[in-house]
Chains A and B, each alone.
Chain A
């Protein structure tokens, strides 16, 4: 069944990719020679053994190989770059200077839609772009960010590269606080706990016949890995979606098993499993989770089935208490963030009108209908932007600790609700992404509308009063 679905889906991919692959010319002889020349140069250096010139050649070759690997790992395009330019971009990004025009060119080619939404490439916008689209690092309210990297090594028995180790780096303000390495699993996520940092991930595999286990670890403040353990729940495939600090030295670990079970496991400070409970919920991912009163509130989701505002309330032992879909007669909600604050749970979301289309473009169906009704495939950006602004409303919802359905607490028209978290000053910060400029792109396969949003930060105090509203000066990408 799976193979038929994949075959069907592959048959529908964008014709341009099919054509591109058919028309692909092999790497130029020049490029191939460069790589071989680098290897030859390195050999000559070894033979000579001494001399600054030889050392410089070896160092250059090493840097070039590192740069090529870096481009490959991050999916960056090397098209049109000379050897020197490739190294320069590599240095520019890894030293976080983002000052080179070539860096802007490379990122422009590698991030769909960005070339229109950002007219000028400043080091700040490039750094933000890099962070959002490649590192996927997010700096939390404490100024902490985590970077995940993976290194690979060739397994001679298999004949290809396998994971050597995952490297997790904790940083604050550009300074590395610690680095931890994990050889048994791909690091997939982490969260700050009272005892340190909870890290989770999954077993690397190279065949569908191998089971995929979920892993957990605790990293202390100095970067030492205190413990790591594999979850053993009898699933063929298990992954962790969230880890919550219970505040009493234990963790609540929310995981998915075999694509249909939601598990809540409680671990003590040493990583020993004290309890586990599974609920069959169907093919739904864990999108968000927070503590709610004595239990938990979990957002489950699946974009294919359009479950974007489905909440499951669990008791302390992980038994499902209530399943809530937040919806209205005339609009659909997409929950994008959750946070416990002031004894309640707040949900960041955005609302869009309910469409009647059956083509799978529910969120933007009305906008596309409007564009097609006008009969032009090049509508002015201001027309598209206005339609997109009209389509979205950012909504902040609140649930009290006793449970019950969420209710609207605050709304901002023309915007999308973004991240939500408590800041160090004890306020609740809600990011609101105001639709700024959007264009229509009928020829692009990955999206039809793209542009940028301006990020505003709304701060509420513990009583729920709006105390400030600030333009962060940051932008986020919009693509649908």
Chain B
């Protein structure tokens, strides 16, 4: 079923809307949640909460692209739970990916509030815009979706060390870009 039709079902308040969303994006949503939480049961609950979030916001919204919209809600739900669980456990792919990327920001004190985090987001957008598609997808899959190196190697049909090397170069490039522009030094 195409996205427009799924959104129409939500607008019509049809109970089949969530089933259609689950059928099309359920696997993706569960993976997003699980990569952050490292636990399938917690992930499942986040996905259910996210579907409720979509139900409550569509209408009035008509999200386009729908995949990004639902994934973003799942990610936010998973992050809330992640922070709540953090005192007890670590070691998810999300931890590992953020650890890598933290190196691009040299200072702990450079970004202080939400507006400035938005500026960093804009800088990330500019950086992503400057990449070729494959590199951009690789970056987003690792640092937004928290995909493991192993799964990325399978996705891109290359060896794991190739993925590690490409990610390392992308991080170096990002850091140089941020420094060159005087941002987040």
Q: A residues touching B (Cβ–Cβ < 8 Å)?
A: 1-3, 5-24, 26-27, 32, 71-72, 75-79, 110, 112, 152, 154, 159-161, 188, 204-208, 212, 237, 239, 256, 258-260, 283-285, 287, 301-304, 358, 360, 444-447
Contact, CB under 8 Å: A32 / B157: yes
How far apart are the CA atoms of A76 and B72 in the complex, in Å? 28
Query: A13–B79 Cα gap in the complex (Å)?
Result: 16
State which size class the interface on B falls in: 35 or more
Query: Nearest CB to that of B64 among chain A residues?
Result: A15
Q: How far is the CA of A206 from the CA of B168 in the complex (A)?
A: 7
Task: Identify which of B11-19, B43-51, B54-62, B114-122 touches chain A.
Answer: B114-122
B69 x A71 contact (CB < 8 A): no
Contacts of B116 in A (CB 8 A): 304
**Residues from 115 to 158 in B contacting A, C-beta threshold 8 Å:** 115-122, 124-126, 128-137, 140-141, 143-145, 155-157
B159 nearest CB neighbor, chain A only: A159
Q: Quick check: B106 and A27 within 8 Å, CB to CB?
A: no
Cβ proximity bits B149-185 to A, threshold 8 Å, 1 near / 0 not: 0000001110011001110110011001001011111
Contact call A259/B185, Cβ cutoff below 8 A: yes
Is B67 a contact of A160 with CB atoms below 8 Å?
A: no
**A26–B155 contact, CB under 8 A?**
yes
Distance of A236 from chain B, by nearest CB (Å): 9
Q: How far is the CA of A152 from the CA of B101 in the complex (A)?
A: 21
Q: Closest CB-CB distance, A283 to chain B, in whole Å?
A: 5
The CA of A285 and the CA of B106, in the complex, are separated in Å by 12
Q: Which residues from chain A contact B128 at a C-beta distance below 8 Å? A: 13-14, 17, 445-446
- 7 closest pairs, A vs B, by CB? A285-B182, A259-B107, A15-B68, A21-B140, A12-B121, A19-B65, A446-B129
Q: Does B71 contact A (CB under 8 A)?
A: yes
B88 at the interface (CB under 8 A from A): no
Known interface pairs A5-B105, A110-B132, A445-B125; A15-B75 also in contact (CB < 8 Å): no
Which residues of the partner chain B approach A259 to less than 8 Å between Cβ atoms? 106-107, 109-110, 185
- Beta-carbon contact of A24 and B108 below 8 Å: no
CB distance from A171 to the nearest CB of B (A): 22
- The minimal Cβ–Cβ distance linking A238 to chain B, given in whole angstroms, is 10
With A8-B117, A239-B179 as known contacts, state yes or no: A1 contacts B108, CB within 8 Å.
Answer: yes
B39 at the interface (CB under 8 A from A): no
Q: Do B102 and A208 have beta carbons less than 8 Å apart? A: yes
Cα distance A7–B183 when bound, in Å?
A: 17
> How many pairs, one residue from A and one from B, have CB atoms within 8 Å of each other in the complex?
191
Q: Which chain B positions have C-beta within 8 A of A204?
A: 172
B98-A77 in contact (CB<8A): no
Q: Are A445 and B129 in contact (CB under 8 A)?
A: yes
Residue of B nearest to A445 (CB): B125
Which chain B residues border A75 with CB–CB below 8 Å?
A: 130-132, 135, 173
Among A18, A21, A77, A237, find the residue whose CB has the most chain B CB atoms closer than 10 A: A21
The chain B residue sitting closest to A106, CB to CB, is B132
Complex interface: chain B residues within 8 A of A239 (CB)? 179
Bound together, the chains give a CA A344 to CA B145 distance in angstroms of 54
Choice from A2, A13, A76 contacting B144 with Cβ under 8 Å:
A13
- Shortest C-beta distance, B43 to chain A (Å), equals 16
**B84-113 to A contact mask, C-beta < 8 Å, 1/0:** 000000000000001101111111111100
Residue contact A21 to B141, C-beta cutoff 8 Å:
yes
Q: Would you call A22 and B181 a contact (CB within 8 A)?
A: no
* Shortest Cβ distance from residue A215 to the other chain B in the assembled complex, whole angstroms: 15
* B105/A16 in contact, CB under 8 A: no
Whose C-beta in chain B lies nearest to the C-beta of A287?
Answer: B182
A12 nearest CB across to chain B (Å): 4
